[in-house]
């Protein structure tokens, strides 16, 4: 194979992954149904199976770089008002333990850095959280310094997944923390799932599967802290502007980011439009809307969210966002339901749906 430019994939799309054992002849069809024949045939084809497994592993990781340069999230600048006094400082206390301290993990190695160097999760969160809160008119200094109000970081990680060289590169972004509020300590969390099939270069996955989820997770956490700690919500004028952006015949592509922004408004009048969009045909618009029902604290939509979660004919993504939104509601009813689902999935096995769903539920427990 000749020289391949950096970031380009030498693999052809016409390649098809062989089925393991597909070329293995039937012993019974040849009349060789003896222990010796079975052993010799097993030994004969074992190298082929190993080679196939190695080939699949190579294809999954083909062309993927070992690290990525990501952007620091840009603040939203949403205009709003507060109901509570805003303390001068918010202290981020890193309480992540064990595997939770591994920021970027998954099928492919993916070290993440900004222009300032490798991402240090707690300090990255403090910096971006302060920028987002300040942009909303909340003059809070967020750092690791001791303060009267604290944010105890429990989870902040990105997990990637890919099944083959021609399937989407998927990331799951998890973020959860306990924050001090006027009514006591509250759990705040965020979950974002994104995917992209790289066509020409793995550079294509950086914006949709790394930059956007990081930005959304920080903004969602900031929205929940702003609501629970400071009683912040977007102004009516700001809400009307957000609604106007979504008032068009067709929503697609980056429009899903405006749906998230509507959820980040913390404005109760946004619930009606978000509920409508939670059944939208566009997947990312729909997922953003389902997630936003939780962010907005739409307690009256608990049964609707429960129905989405229990609808087995729907996609896992829909169910995942529904259980995430149920966790956001933080009512006695939602907490009881979440605990029951945790027990159910813990005893279900180790398939992907069980593991992935449990990871979301545990953000809230």
Whether residue 33 is contained in a domain is answered as no
Indicate the average pLDDT of the chain: 85
Whole-angstrom distance, CA of residue 115 vs CA of residue 198: 23
Q: What is the dihedral of CA 77, 82, 86, 92, to 10 degrees?
A: -50
pLDDT of 351 reads 87
Helix (H) or strand (E) holding 81: strand 80-81
Across the range 203-231, mean pLDDT stands at 96
Residue 219 sits in the same domain as residue 279:
no
Domain residues for the domain of 338 are: 235-365
Answer yes or no: is pLDDT of 71 > 50: yes
Across the range 259-277, mean pLDDT stands at 98
3-class state of residue 177 by DSSP: strand
Whole-angstrom distance, CA of residue 325 vs CA of residue 296: 9
Across the range 321-349, mean pLDDT stands at 95
pLDDT tier at 56, thresholds 50, 70, 90:
very low
State which of 231, 259, 292 marks the end of a domain: 231
Which tens digits make up the pLDDT trace of 181-205? Answer: 999 999 999 999 999 998 888 889 9
At 78, which CATH number?
3.30.160
Whether residue 17 is contained in a domain is answered as no
pLDDT of 310 reads 95
Which tens digits make up the pLDDT trace of 134-149? Answer: 999 999 999 999 999 9
Give the range among 6-10, 63-67, 205-209 with minimum mean pLDDT.
6-10
Give the contacts of 105 (CB within 8 A, at least 6 positions apart).
Answer: 99, 157, 158, 159, 160
Cβ atoms 70, 114 nearer than 8 A: yes
pLDDT of 198 reads 87
Residue 205 sits in the same domain as residue 239:
no
Whether residue 340 is contained in a domain is answered as yes
Q: What is the dihedral of CA 313, 191, 196, 159, to 10 degrees?
A: -110
Whole-angstrom distance, CA of residue 121 vs CA of residue 96: 10
Residue 169 sits in the same domain as residue 253:
no
Query: pTM score > 0.85 for this model?
Result: no
Q: In this structure, what token pair is assigned to residue 155?
A: 């989870």
Answer yes or no: is pLDDT of 273 > 60: yes
Whether residue 24 is contained in a domain is answered as no
Answer yes or no: is pLDDT of 7 > 50: no
Across the range 208-218, mean pLDDT stands at 97
Residue 224 sits in the same domain as residue 268:
no
State which of 177, 208, 231 marks the end of a domain: 231
- When mean pLDDT is compared over 104-108, 194-198, 320-324, the highest value belongs to 320-324
Residue 201 sits in the same domain as residue 300:
no
Residue 204 sits in the same domain as residue 293:
no
Across the range 35-62, mean pLDDT stands at 47
pLDDT of 242 reads 97
Residue 219 sits in the same domain as residue 278:
no
Whether residue 89 is contained in a domain is answered as yes
Alpha helical stretches, state H, 62-156: 121-135
Determine the Cα angle at 12 with ends 7 and 16, to 5°.
125
Query: How does strand 104-106 pair with strand 149-161?
Result: parallel
3-class state of residue 239 by DSSP: helix
Helix (H) or strand (E) holding 284: helix 283-295
Radius of gyration in angstroms for the set of CA atoms belonging to the chain, rounded to a whole number: 24
- When mean pLDDT is compared over 110-114, 131-135, 345-349, 352-356, the highest value belongs to 131-135
Residue scoring higher pLDDT (274 or 163): 274
Relative orientation angle of helices 352-361 and 332-346, to the nearest 10 degrees: 150
Give the contacts of 81 (CB within 8 A, at least 6 positions apart).
Answer: 232, 233, 235
3-class state of residue 126 by DSSP: helix
Whether residue 254 is contained in a domain is answered as yes
Residue 268 sits in the same domain as residue 283:
yes
Whole-angstrom distance, CA of residue 153 vs CA of residue 93: 6
Residue scoring higher pLDDT (46 or 81): 81
Question: Based on the structure, what is the number of domains in the chain?
Answer: 2
Closest CA to 328 of 280, 364, 283, 301: 364
Query: How does strand 141-143 pair with strand 149-161?
Result: unpaired
Query: How does strand 233-234 pair with strand 80-81?
Result: antiparallel
Residue 147 sits in the same domain as residue 283:
no
Whether residue 46 is contained in a domain is answered as no
Cβ atoms 170, 195 nearer than 8 A: yes
Place of tokens 């956490």: 221
High-pLDDT (> 70) share of the chain, %: 82
Answer yes or no: is pLDDT of 316 > 80: yes
pLDDT tier at 47, thresholds 50, 70, 90:
low
Place of tokens 């062989």: 18
At 264, which CATH number?
1.25.10.10
pLDDT tier at 92, thresholds 50, 70, 90:
very high
Residue 252 sits in the same domain as residue 342:
yes
3-class state of residue 264 by DSSP: coil
Whether residue 129 is contained in a domain is answered as yes
Residue 158 sits in the same domain as residue 240:
no
State which of 231, 251, 279 marks the end of a domain: 231
Q: In this structure, what token pair is assigned to residue 208?
A: 């949709």
Across the range 276-305, mean pLDDT stands at 97
Q: In this structure, what token pair is assigned to residue 133?
A: 């809160």
pLDDT tier at 54, thresholds 50, 70, 90:
very low
Residue 165 sits in the same domain as residue 194:
yes
């Amino acid at each position: 194979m000749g020289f391949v430019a950096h970031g380009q994939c030498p693999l052809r799309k016409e390649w098809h992954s062989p089925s393991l054992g597909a070329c293995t002849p039937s012993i019974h069809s040849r009349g060789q149904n003896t222990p010796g024949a079975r052993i010799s045939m097993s030994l004969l084809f074992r190298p082929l199976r190993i080679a196939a497994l190695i080939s699949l592993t190579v294809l999954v990781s083909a062309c993927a770089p070992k690290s990525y340069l990501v952007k620091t999230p840009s603040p939203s600048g949403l205009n709003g008002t507060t109901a509570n006094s805003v303390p001068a400082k918010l202290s981020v206390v890193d309480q992540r333990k064990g595997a939770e301290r591994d920021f970027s993990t998954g099928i492919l190695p993916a070290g993440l850095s900004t222009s300032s160097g490798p991402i240090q999760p707690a300090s990255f969160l403090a910096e971006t959280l302060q920028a987002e809160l300040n942009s909303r008119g909340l003059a809070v200094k967020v750092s690791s310094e001791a303060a009267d109000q604290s944010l105890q970081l429990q989870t902040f990680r990105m997990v990637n997944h890919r099944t083959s060289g021609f399937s989407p590169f998927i990331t799951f972004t998890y973020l959860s923390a306990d924050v001090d509020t006027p009514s006591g300590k509250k759990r705040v969390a965020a979950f974002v799932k994104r995917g992209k099939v790289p066509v020409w270069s793995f550079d294509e996955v950086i914006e949709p599967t790394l930059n956007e989820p990081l930005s959304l997770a920080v903004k969602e956490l900031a929205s929940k802290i702003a609501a629970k700690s400071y009683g912040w919500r977007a102004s009516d004028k700001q809400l009307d502007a957000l609604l106007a952006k979504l008032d068009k015949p067709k929503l697609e592509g980056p429009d899903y980011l405006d749906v998230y922004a509507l959820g980040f408004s913390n404005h109760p009048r946004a619930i009606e439009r978000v509920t409508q969009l939670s059944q939208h045909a566009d997947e990312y618009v729909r997922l953003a809307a389902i997630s936003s029902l939780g962010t907005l604290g739409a307690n009256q939509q608990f049964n609707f969210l429960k129905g989405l979660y229990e609808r087995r004919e729907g996609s896992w993504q829909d169910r995942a966002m529904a259980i995430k939104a149920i966790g956001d509601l933080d009512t006695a009813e939602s907490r009881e339901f979440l605990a029951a689902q945790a027990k159910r999935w813990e005893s279900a096995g180790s398939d992907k749906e069980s593991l992935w769903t449990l990871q979301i539920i545990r953000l809230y427990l």
